[in-house]
Structure 1
Amino acid sequence: MSYYDDELSAKISSALAIFGLVWYTALWCIGLLGAISVYRRYRNRPIFVNFTPAFEAPGVSVLRPLKGLDPDLYTNLESTLRLDYPNFEIIFSVSDEKDQALPIVTELLQLYPNVKAQIVVGQEVVGVNPKVNNLVRSYKLAENDIIWVLDSNVFVDPGTLARSVEALTAPRKPTQRRIGVIHHVPFVDKVNSCWGSRVEAVFLNTVHAKMYVAINTVAIESCVVGKSNIFRRSDVDLVNGTLKPRDPLDLDVGIKRGFASFGRFLAEDNMIASALWHELGIRHELSTDVAHNVVGNMSISDYVWRRVRWLRVRKRMVLAASLVEPFTESILLSIIGSSSVRYLFGIPRSWFLIVHFLLWFLVDTSVYSSLAGRLPAVIDGHFVMAWIFREVAALPIWLFAVFGNDVVWRGEHYRILQNGEVAPSSSGNDK
């Protein structure tokens, strides 16, 4: 090899090392931004709520889609009947009159006769998504413009709705876009002995929350999951998921818009939020509350297939972000960082890796503790083992997920199409 070849090789190696160090530093900055934002927003979140008088409180329709006996279903549904808010209704939706959730809802309504609530039985098929089909009739029957869609495996604190409405209706600066969605970061505060449940709890309470809050703090793009979302029906009725800015002069002839139009997506919650962001130009906001996510009895296999499902959905919705995701995880990032600093500064790889993983773990546990708020964060041997498994399994799961498009959701097989739309699939190879 000639001198010039050696010089070119050295320049390429230096450039790659510098790029790797910049990437490593940038990802740490994003992670720290998420951890700091979680601390500020959730560590000392309020217990009590001070809301406007009842006659000034905007009406809210709480929609709870039900299918079967989700873990802790009674407690989850009861939490909405105990909301500390003066002006709301609850609509429980089931697609089948034989659904096992119905007796539980009926019992709860008898225990809380003073709460305005009803049960809607029967779906209206508007697309492939069973959750949307289940909610269409309830959505039409809702009396209020403000809609809160709350999954059945979530329970909320009594003041959640009041604080969320305050955030939704808060005055804005003239230069700020109007708030169109209030959402809540999922948090698991109860976990059983099943290892899949432990790993899922670690994922939601650490890396997911850290990145989710960081992205929403920067707020350069829509990033919303659908456990607990509040929006205005008058806004949703104007969008359809094309993500193209809406022309006020468009006569909408033959164009299907509104909630029912999102039945063609599997992740309808994310698409509704993205549509409001891109088509109407309105922004999102996290409240100071969390959506207490009950994960139930999950095996490791359940955890893996759940991650595969949503990775495949994300791949079809945001391909670029999905492709770089492995390089944001701790293991590949540590390889990039250690290789870069070893080449540039001669720092031993082993020292770097020890410090990297120790600090990464401490940041993740800080996020968990902040989300727990005044509740104790249980960081024991089981947590550490689940955390290690989550980190090690991230890349293999991603590799498997990226080379497929079929998923299973609530027993039904789907094929993910372009932009996150779905079609029924007869494949039985994916769980």
Structure 2
Amino acid sequence: MVDSEDEDGAGSSTLPLILAITSLVWYFIILSMGLLGCWTARKRYRLRPRSPLASADPASIPGVSILRPLKGLDANLYENLESTFTQEYSNYEIFLSVESEHDQALPVVKELIAKYPHVKAHMVIGAENVGSNPKVNNLIRAYRQATYDILWVLDSNVMVDRGTLARSVDVLDGPQTAAAPSGRRRIALVHHVPFAFATEQTLGSHIEQAFLNTNHAKMYLAINTVAIDSCVVGKSNLYRKSDLERVDGTLKPVTPTSGDRSQQRGLAAFGRFLAEDNMIASALWKELDLRHELSCDVARNAVGSMSLADYFWRRVRWIRVRKHMVFAATLVEPFTESVVAGVLASLGLRYLLGLPPWLFIPLHFLTWLSIDLDVYASLAAHPIPSGATFWKFLGAWSLREGMALPIWLYAIWGSTVDWRGKTYVVMRNGEVKRASRDARGWFRRIFGTKERGQEYEPLELAQD
């Protein structure tokens, strides 16, 4: 007969063993994801061949309407916009949209239109209120005026390589468009991983740059390689207007018997979401059962002046948005970060093998950093220069890794976000409404942050 005390003792000794094994299994899963992202970056971005479409006759290639929403003088605005005027593609038009005729971006737009008279470029002045999202309100008129079915939507702080459009159309409209013999789904959206460059020497800008070019990029690439669900950042996306006109953001599959859905469709249907880009991608994936693909180009993201508080609130905003869209993924997010994953793995190794944490932890962070540096080099097409530039990056990377858990802990318990000087409440599926009072909490009251009323902060759902 087994004594109950023996049973309790066996149970208490089994639990730490299970936790130790679980922590190590989880660690190797996350490490494998990082290695997959690193391998994908090497394979995809270290060679960017010229597309045959770059020199094709205009009549032989699909037309593309480029939509760029603008507000104020964003960092690097002239060069960002000019990169769309110089695309190696002979059949496209550009729509540059502003809300007001007094917008500071208009002189830049007019100068570029005069500089490139051969490019079909249009200024669109005046927004139309179709929802809470000002980016959608800004774009809706250009969306309706677009000549071509293929749309390329780029945020105002994004610069692209001359061959980006041609290579992206290759992916979107190439042989992959038709269903493959294996039954693989048609590509409905082509997106580009962000690659940040800081235009100002501020702490928040360097942390944002380090984050986007390493941890964010490797996980973004890994998730899209596995491709079990939609994961899209909206800095630079190509999709078809005809596909967008079939979806409404409910994420319910479109069937032959669902034609009577009363929900508005097309771009206007996504004006109720804060992260309209991610919702558009999810709708194409889930409502039409189509898939996404990355091209071999990056969306070069100009990061302007960003304080530490700006960085904090940017991360808080998107954690709270994701929480209402992908709750389970947001809940486990801290366990994917280097600090939490490393600490748990070190405890597991100490319990199972007696390995002291002081021996494992340095090796862990060195491995993590090496993977991130390799991802950075693949996206940039060169390693980080040695000297002061490297040490600045290392400091920013270390701060980002150390801040990830505190930011998550603050963000996960709230549902209000501050955006362009206004406070919103994030609701189910990422829809938003204006908050009735300022509920921004102790961090804002102590540290504050500058208003961005004269700047356009592009919407994105970074897998931050």
TM-score (norm 1): 0.97
For residue 400 of structure 1, report the CA deviation from its aligned partner: 0.7
Q: Do the aligned partners of 2:69 and 2:155 also contact (CA within 8 Å) in 1?
A: yes
Q: CA RMSD in A?
A: 1.4
Q: Do the aligned partners of 1:188 and 1:294 also contact (CA within 8 Å) in 2?
A: yes
SS in 1 for 2:69: strand
For residue 190 of structure 1, report the CA deviation from its aligned partner: 4.3
Give me the whole-angstrom Cα distance separating, in 1, the residues matched to 2:185 and 2:292: 9
Q: Do the aligned partners of 1:196 and 1:300 also contact (CA within 8 Å) in 2?
A: yes
Q: Do the aligned partners of 2:186 and 2:291 also contact (CA within 8 Å) in 1?
A: yes
SS in 2 for 1:244: coil
SS in 2 for 1:380: helix
Question: 83-92 or 17-26, which moves further after superposition?
Answer: 17-26
Aligned to 1:33: 36
Q: Does 1:398 align with 2:393?
A: no
For residue 253 of structure 1, report the CA deviation from its aligned partner: 5.3
Aligned to 1:339: 347
Q: Do the aligned partners of 1:368 and 1:377 also contact (CA within 8 Å) in 2?
A: no
- Select the residue among 197, 215, 235 that pairs with 2:243: 235
For residue 374 of structure 1, report the CA deviation from its aligned partner: 4.6
Q: Does 1:291 align with 2:299?
A: yes
Count of paired positions: 430
For residue 415 of structure 1, report the CA deviation from its aligned partner: 1.1
Mapping for residues 109-120 of structure 1, pairs under 5 Å: 109-120=113-124
The one-letter code of the counterpart of 2:44 is R
SS in 2 for 1:176: coil
For residue 248 of structure 1, report the CA deviation from its aligned partner: 2.0
Q: Deviations over 1:290-311 (max 9, x none)?
A: 0000011111111111111111
Q: Does 1:22 align with 2:32?
A: no
Q: Do the aligned partners of 2:263 and 2:269 also contact (CA within 8 Å) in 1?
A: no
Aligned to 1:166: 170
Give me the whole-angstrom Cα distance separating, in 2, the residues matched to 1:33 and 1:14: 29
For residue 377 of structure 1, report the CA deviation from its aligned partner: 5.2
For residue 149 of structure 1, report the CA deviation from its aligned partner: 0.5
SS in 2 for 1:189: strand
Give me the whole-angstrom Cα distance separating, in 1, the residues matched to 2:164 and 2:369: 30
Q: Does 1:366 align with 2:374?
A: yes
Q: Do the aligned partners of 1:369 and 1:377 also contact (CA within 8 Å) in 2?
A: no
For residue 50 of structure 1, report the CA deviation from its aligned partner: 2.4
Aligned to 1:11: 14
The one-letter code of the counterpart of 1:352 is F
Mapping for residues 378-389 of structure 1, pairs under 5 Å: 380-389=390-399
Unaligned runs of 5+ in 2: 441-448, 450-464
Give me the whole-angstrom Cα distance separating, in 1, the residues matched to 2:373 and 2:436: 42
The one-letter code of the counterpart of 1:68 is G
- Report the identity percentage: 55
For residue 250 of structure 1, report the CA deviation from its aligned partner: 2.4
SS in 2 for 1:297: coil
Q: Deviations over 1:316-364 (max 9, x none)?
A: 1111100100011001101111111111122111111111011111111
- Select the residue among 122, 135, 139 that pairs with 1:131: 135
Q: Deviations over 1:131-172 (max 9, x none)?
A: 001111100000000000100001111100000000101213
Give me the whole-angstrom Cα distance separating, in 2, the residues matched to 1:80 and 1:409: 27
SS in 2 for 1:264: coil
TM-score (norm 2): 0.90
Give me the whole-angstrom Cα distance separating, in 1, the residues matched to 2:108 and 2:436: 33
